[in-house]
Structure 1
Amino acid sequence: MSGLQQLSATVTAANSPEVAGSDLTYVVVVAVIALGALAVAAGLVRQVLAADEGTDTMKRIAGAVQEGASAYLTRQFRTLSGFAVGVFFLLMLLPADTMNERIGRSLFFLVGAVFSAVTGYTGMWLAVRSNVRVAAAARAGHGPEGSHNAMRIAFRTGGVAGMFTVGLGLFGAALVVIIYREDAPKVLEGFGFGAALLAMFMRVGGGIFTKAADVGADLVGKVEQGIPEDDPRNAATIADNVGDNVGDCAGMAADLFESYAVTLVAALILGKAAFGDAGLVFPLLVPAIGVITAVLGIYTVVPRSGDRSGMTAINRGFFISAVVSLALVAIAAFAYLPDSFAKLDGVNETTATGRAILDHSGDPRVFALVSVLIGIVLAAVIQQLTGYFTETSRRPVKDVVKTSLTGPATVILSGISLGLESAVYAAVLIAIAVYGAYLLGGGIIMLALFAVALAGTGLLTTVGVIVAMDTFGPVSDNAQGIAEMSGDVEGDGAQVLTDLDAVGNTTKAITKGIAIATAVLAATALYGSYRDAVETARAQVGVQANESMSLLTGLSFNLDISQPNNLVGLILGAAVVFLFSGLAINAVSRAAGAVVFEVREQFRTRPGIMDGSETPEYGRVVDICTRDSLRELATPGLLAVMAPIAVGFALGIAPLGAYLAGAIGAGTLMAVFLSNSGGAWDNAKKTIEDGTFGGKGSDAHEATVIGDTVGDPFKDTAGPAINPLLKVMNLVSLLIAPAVVKLTLGEHASGPLRALIAIVAILVIVGAVWWSKRKSIAVGSSDHETKEAEPVAS
């Protein structure tokens, strides 16, 4: 603690005495709790690594997966490092109130990116060492003992990623508040942007890698050759297991970290405006409580003899964590916050909004508690809703299984209809939560938006357990793959791993649903931050926009869609979500085509592979997936960053606000649809493989395999990548808003410069999409053969 206090004493003279005394002590305690989460993670690592690794064959297979995953992430970080440095200098050019803010925003952009990378890499590093231990535990145990030990190792592996997520996210936000005090909101924009941007790249790149390998392995191995998914004769099987880790472990851990960081950023920015000094402290106390309850939740996930499945134990840990979190938040709210809004310190009394907040007749403690309650309840309900649509024991997945009797077309149709329907229910639930938070504001927009942000922090109290649930899925999947490839796990042990894999499919779908809800709450709260940034910039140039001005300049924040420019912005926001999703799925299609061609070629030119006399060249497929996934990163990333710049500088502030609204609406529905359809298809395949309708090798099995290959890029590439997309676009808009205002009005107004920036952004988008589309090739074409004639590293 003393080190943090010394650090806080080094702040520059630009910092105000706000967030001092007991408030600063609270923030320092929060930072210490965050570091405590990392200590818990270290303890969990020791527990996991102490477990037995199984046979030499299992160790050798696990070593290949470790090598491939580490090589991919190393190359990915090397590719992204130059991009991060470029953004660092671009942020230095954007306007800020002081040079202190500008430097801090750029520095903490790098901190956010590094923390996101560390969270993803740590989750992957342990997952590729845990998978073989889970397989060994299932092999060594007898009956329930093997199941319990295997599940405990897998879930505590996920707990490490969960602890890093909450620890680094909370520590980064607390550190900004300690160092920058009243300047913290502006600096936090950089921290959130760094986390979100890197997470989007890791989510897209890892998703392309894992699904290219998975689709290629399934189409050639299962459908064409009739061999099991993880048969060692399939050249894509090592790449498939590598992909589970770089996509689902590293990518999703980074995704949930940025959700955590960005939600905190939004809560602190709005909290400062709505609650004054307390608004920079209370939003940190809530996730600090979540750190404590996450530890409780992780350690209470212990299977019992009466449990229906492993999902029962996971649900128990989740709900215990949620209930205890709510109780502790109630204590914190009534102990820390005053009993009336009039007693809040630091609220700006010179503005109409500030005076309205201080005159509010409600109780800030009740306001904060109910807001957090909304977020916790939303997490619980989304968890149950997603489980209903994706669990093997529920009717929706059973209905998809039945359609396998009539072929792959009906499997695909039933999965699409399931996803579309579930997206409506999830969107309605999220909308109810947002509207409930809005009602708490009593008509004061700033309070309403702060309530939305607090609901997001409430949801964050469960994020440690949520990340553990997510990582549990790929660890279980890899464990089954290692067991099948080695041939050393049979009988009860093999069935244990099959059951864990099915549970893992459900937990991955659930965490994607909750991540989507978090993304929408964070994006909505950032929307309020964007509005505040616009009003502040307009006040600085000393011009009040009027109705006649707004139509031409878009500088009014009136989002009336009867104005054509606003309607255009709304349509463009929705369109970008569709384009982004299409680019991601198309990237998987191209990369998977290369994998299919390579695996087919190996089977054709090496006949000894099928009888076991020859070994496939696994390294060729790993290298294809690595090369293609990293090559595909640029286009979606440039689209996410450049599209808001093009809309903002070309059309103005109000159309950009409408653009964000369109993106949030379309993104919510699209993300849930893609995630749940893919999850249902995956578990329908698992149900058939367990013996339903003829089991493996049957026509029903082939139909569900094809459905699953369609769902793979849905649920693990395009769908999850929409979460960071929404927040990257919101943060870019928030960062450029002052520049748009100043280039439209005031002494720095320049219509030609605005037009030039917009034209450059549009040309970058068009060029990136054209470059991506020109790479589209057909498997087996002369273009593809020429490309594959190049040497590929093994």
Structure 2
Amino acid sequence: MPSSTLAAIDLAAGDRVIVGVVAVVALAALAIGFVLLKEVLAAGQGTEKMQEIGRAVQEGAAAYLNRQFRTLGIFVVIVFVLLFALPANGWGERIGRSLFFIVGAVFSATIGYLGMWLATRANIRVASAAREEGGREKATRIAFRTGGVVGMFTVGLGLFGASIVVLAYAGEAPKVLEGFGFGAALLAMFMRVGGGIFTKAADVGADLVGKVEQGIPEDDPRNAATIADNVGDNVGDCAGMAADLFESYAVTLVAALILGSAAFGLQGLLFPLIVPAIGVITAVIGVYITRARPNEGGLKAINRSFYISALISAVLCVIAAYLYLPGSFGQLGSNGTGTPTDAGVVAAMAGSDPRLIASIAVIIGIVLAGIILWLTGYFTGTEDKPVKTVGESSLTGSATVILAGISIGFESAVYTAIVIGAAVFGAFALATASITVALFAVALAGTGLLTTVGVIVAMDTFGPVSDNAQGIAEMSGDVEGDGVGILTELDAVGNTTKAITKGIAIATAVLAATALFGSYRDAITQAVGDINVASNTAFSFEVFSPNTLVGVIIGAAVVFMFSGLAINAVTRAAGAIVFEVRRQFRNDPGIMAGTSRPEYGRVVDICTRDSLRELATPGLLAIFAPIAVGFGLGVGPLAGYLAGAIACGTLMAIFLANSGGAWDNAKKLVEDGNHGGKGSPAHEATIIGDTVGDPFKDTAGPAINPLIKVMNLVSVLIAPAIVVFTVGDSASPALRIVIALVALAIIVAAVAVSKRRSTTISDTPVEEQVG
């Protein structure tokens, strides 16, 4: 639909009431989040020793995120200026897009910081609860409701931000929301990369020196990397994942509103707000009904609440569709008066029922979340065959453990990708007569999946909180008897819930990216129409076109480069940790004897410095690669680039996440007494597998989710400029090439600097390296 038609959409009084109700629901989510927050903080904090360890983790996590936000502030200012310079329909849209880019970035940072802040305080409370009577139920409730707080703030801020934009900008809201989604996605990607490097550098270093070389437990207080490891769980898994899911929420809403206004007119602008508002209600239900029954595992209780809340979401969304949407496309209005939104859409969809299309699309998204939950749980859970197979392979050494984990990762990626592809195709097939409506159906599937986000965030935060609780219990020595078993069980459950939420986050990323792919097409169509030139081969996206295929290859290659940069960053930072922990053991024998305290702060400082230093290169690659391809090769190759990035990114992210999850839980399986138990050769083999899997599942894999959305949003934002510089009165091939070359030069320089970067390994004398 032309941009002028979009701008003509206005909100009647009744429409503003609907959006106002959605905003109130969003504020209610924030209020419930505060109630849950007070409940978590009211729980007992355990012994003085546990609190001392907890304070060390809190200080390290806060110091890291404060430094990270100062670093990222530079990127935010630069992008704000660049966004302001991009073409827009008037100054109001230009200013709004840039301002809400800042709002999206601030909201994303707020969610991430809150997740870290609360998780570092809930961990000691979970450890303390495990010592009490009914410890399993109490500890499970505290850990899950900690995640519930973050979940409520995620859906509340995301929905509130979108509602305010729609109220303020009406028909121009989709364009302004591009800035909001981009701000959320950009911050989430940097937090995912930086936090992932921090947490896995500490984890790998702690495991290699402590468990493998010194033969001490994972969270033994004699290991100088233990505090950094616990800090990393919070800045990587809590802060990073919370920001990741928030930007998925924001970006999917952006795509749905852009496509909805084109497909359904005014109703298409508002219905994507109604669906996640229902998700707020079901998220509250899901959080409050999660309680472990006597003699019941925590995972079963969590899964049950997820499925119940998903079912309630499906029912309520169908009711909402039939109450709000009309029974035919001819009744859809662009201004609330019944005027057809787009004559072409109405003609193509004659005889179709918008209510039915919307209902089925939303249900597809909800069902997809449930299937991903089951599928990921199967490939990473300790009770199922894949992880047991990895555990058995430990009897023949670390090589077979690694091979078994890689095999599971590859296989699971195929099944998960097919399921996601089936969901996308199923939603698209609901309206093949109109590409605009079909793409909107895909976006609605994404909003359907997002009705479960509140519970998904709670599931994810449960993991690092439980992990930290076990670490604090082990370091303090103040949890004994049944409490030790409870925390070990919750830690294993947390590993599975983290893997599950990574799988669902990947699904949201694909649905959002696919919908944004449609938004990219819409942006090109609008830009061509606005400058009154006929569409020609310069704007064709045919897959069989060689230039489009070149874009596909480059898009897939960028995913490989991004993953390689992230894993290599962990390798360098972990090397620094290994030599620092070795140095402390070598120079102070009192550490192993338990008479001296390790220098925990030095390891935290190394992780902080290296992670902030390393996050820039992957971030620059994500921002400037689409610019180089779009301005250098054109909109067709850029479309291919996005397709290649989405396809390759989906498979790569699932492979990395599930391989890492399987290795992690195979280690837990052995530590529970299987195949020789702790200290056995099998245990050492699974530690190596887990160490390899750490940067897979917690750094590179999760960072691919915001990567593909950032690249899609950059493409949507620059598409009009590419068209303007390609044809019409403002055509400037020379300027296009200059922009492309500058973007390429920035990428090459960033990668070159990263490759030349010195590490502790290269700076340390050989005699110290070998110890």
Query: TM-score w.r.t. structure 2 length?
Result: 0.97
Cα 1:596/1:610, change in 2 over 3 Å: same
1:235 and 2:217 correspond: no
Equivalent residue for 2:158, pick from 169, 179, 184: 169
1:558 is matched with: 541
2:216 and 2:295 mapped to 1: Cα distance? 36
Residue from 698, 701, 710 that aligns with 2:683: 701
Q: CA deviation at 1:17?
A: 6.5
Contact 1:404 1:700 in 2 (8 A): yes
Give runs of aligned pairs for residues 197-596 of structure 1, distance below 5 A: 197-305=186-294, 307=296, 309-346=297-334, 353-357=344-348, 359-546=349-536, 550=537, 555-561=538-544, 563-596=545-578
Q: 1:694-733, aligned counterparts within 5 Å?
A: 694-733=676-715
Matching of residue 655 in structure 1 with residue 637 in structure 2: yes
Whether the 8 Å contact between 1:19 and 1:280 is mirrored in structure 2 is no
> What are the residue-to-residue correspondences of 1:62-81 with 2, within 5 Å?
62-81=54-73
- What does residue range 52-71 of structure 1 map to in structure 2 within 5 Å? 52-71=44-63
Contact 1:419 1:674 in 2 (8 A): yes
1:360: Cα distance to partner? 2.4
User: Which consecutive unaligned segments of at least 5 residues does structure 1 have?
Assistant: 1-13, 788-794
SS at match of 2:539: coil
- Secondary structure of 1:613's match? coil
How many residues align? The count is 761
Rounded to whole Å, the distance in 2 between the matches of 1:300 and 1:670 is 35
The 3 A distance-change label for structure 1 pair 337 and 240 is same
AA in 1 matched with 2:375? L
Find the residue that maps to 1:779 and give its secondary structure. Answer: helix
Q: Does 1:130 align with 2:122?
A: yes
- Counterpart secondary structure, 1:139: coil
Q: Any idea what SS the aligned residue of 1:362 has? A: coil
Among residues 108, 127, 146, which one is paired with 1:157 in the alignment? 146
Deviations 1:89-137 (A, max 9, x none): 1100000011110000000000000000001111111100000000000
Q: CA deviation at 1:782?
A: 4.1
- 2: CA distance, partners of 1:660 / 1:195: 19
8 Å Cα contact 2:309-2:452 kept in structure 1: yes
* Mapped pair 1:96 → 2:88: yes
Whether the 8 Å contact between 2:194 and 2:612 is mirrored in structure 1 is yes
Distance 2:423 2:636 in 1: 25
Shift in Å, 1:625: 0.1
Aligned to 2:752: 770
Mapped to 2, the partners of 1:175 and 1:632 lie a distance apart of 36
SS, match of residue 640 in structure 1: helix
Relative to structure 1, the CA distance from residue 590 to residue 259 in structure 2 (aligned partners, 3 Å threshold; closer, same or farther) is same
2:589 to 604, 607, 628: 607
1:610 offset after TM fit, Å?
0.3
After TM superposition, give the deviation of residue 785 of structure 1 in Å.
11
Contact in 1 for aligned 2:573/2:759 (Cα 8 Å): no
Residues 166-217 of structure 1 show CA distances to partners (whole Å, capped at 9, x for unaligned) of: 0000000111000001110100000000000000000000000000000000
One-letter identity of the residue aligned with 1:137: A
Cα distance in 2, alignment partners of residues 434 and 126 from structure 1: 36
Distance 1:499 1:19 in 2: 52
Shift of 1:566: 1.1
**Contact 1:559/1:655 (8 A) holds in 2:** no
Check 1:754–1:349 CA distance in 2 against 1; reply closer, same or farther (3 A cut).
farther
Deviation at 1:464, TM superposition (A): 0.2
Query: Is residue 353–residue 446 contact of structure 1 (8 Å, CA) maintained in 2?
Result: no
Alpha-carbon shift at residue 362 of structure 1 (Å): 1.2
Given that 2:155 and 2:454 are in contact with CA atoms closer than 8 Å, whether structure 1 keeps it comes out as yes
- CA displacement at 1:332 relative to structure 2: 0.7
User: For the structure 1 residues 349 and 27, does the alpha-carbon distance in structure 2 shift closer, same or farther, using more than 3 Å as the test?
Assistant: closer
**Residue equivalent to 1:10:** none
Pick closer, same or farther for the CA change 1:260–1:350 going to 2, 3 Å: closer
- One-letter amino acid matched to 1:560: V
Q: CA deviation at 1:354?
A: 3.2
Which residue in 1 is equivalent to 2:10?
18
1:530-549 Cα offsets, whole Å, 9 max, x none, are 00000111111211133xxx
Structure 2: 5+ residue stretches without partners: 1-5
Distance, in Å, in 1 between the alignment partners of 2:456 and 2:665 is 20
Instruction: Give the superposition deviation at 1:352.
Output: 6.1
Q: Which residue of 2 aligns with 1:113?
A: 105
Equivalent residue for 1:665?
A: 647
Shift of 1:140: 2.1
Matches within 5 A, 1:42-61: 42-61=34-53
Match status 1:190 vs 2:179: yes
| 1:40 and 1:163 in contact (8 A); partners too | yes
Residues 55, 645 of structure 1: CA spacing in aligned structure 2 closer, same or farther, 3 A cutoff?
A: same
Separation of aligned partners in 2, 1:701 and 1:592: 21
**CA distance in 2 between partners of 1:688 and 1:285 (Å):** 47
Give the CA deviation at 1:83.
Answer: 1.1
Give the deviation of 1:369 after TM superposition: 0.5
Aligned CA RMSD, in angstroms, stands at 1.5
Aligned to 1:790: none
Q: Distance in 1 between matches of 2:364 and 2:8?
A: 34
Which of 619, 628, 639 matches 2:601? Answer: 619
Q: Distance in 2 between matches of 1:542 and 1:201?
A: 39
Residues 220-279 of structure 1, C-alpha deviations (whole Å, 9 max, x = no match) = 000000000000000000000000000000000000000000000000000000000001
Change (3 A) 1:581 1:604: same
Given the two structures, how large is their TM-score scaled by the length of structure 1?
A: 0.94
Cα deviation per residue 1:627-654 (whole Å; 9 max; x = unaligned)?
0000011100100000000000011001
What is the distance in 2 between the residues matched to 1:71 and 1:784?
Answer: 33
Amino acid at match of 1:354: V
Cα 1:15/1:444, change in 2 over 3 Å = closer
Percent identical among aligned pairs is 70
String of CA shifts for 1:328-376, please: whole Å, max 9, x gaps.
Answer: 111111111111111000199696633435x421111111100000000
Amino acid at match of 2:116: M
Q: C-alpha separation between the residues in 1 aligned to 2:373 and 2:767?
A: 46
> 2:3 — aligned with what?
none
- What amino acid is the match of 2:345? G
Paired residue type of 2:542: L
Contact conserved, 1:777 with 1:784, CA < 8 A, in 2?
A: no
Preserved CA contact (<8 Å) 2:330 2:340: no
Q: CA deviation at 1:696?
A: 1.1
Q: Could you say which residue in structure 2 is the equivalent of 1:86? A: 78
Q: Which amino acid aligns with 2:75?
A: F
Q: Return 537-546 or 267-276, whichever deviates more.
A: 537-546
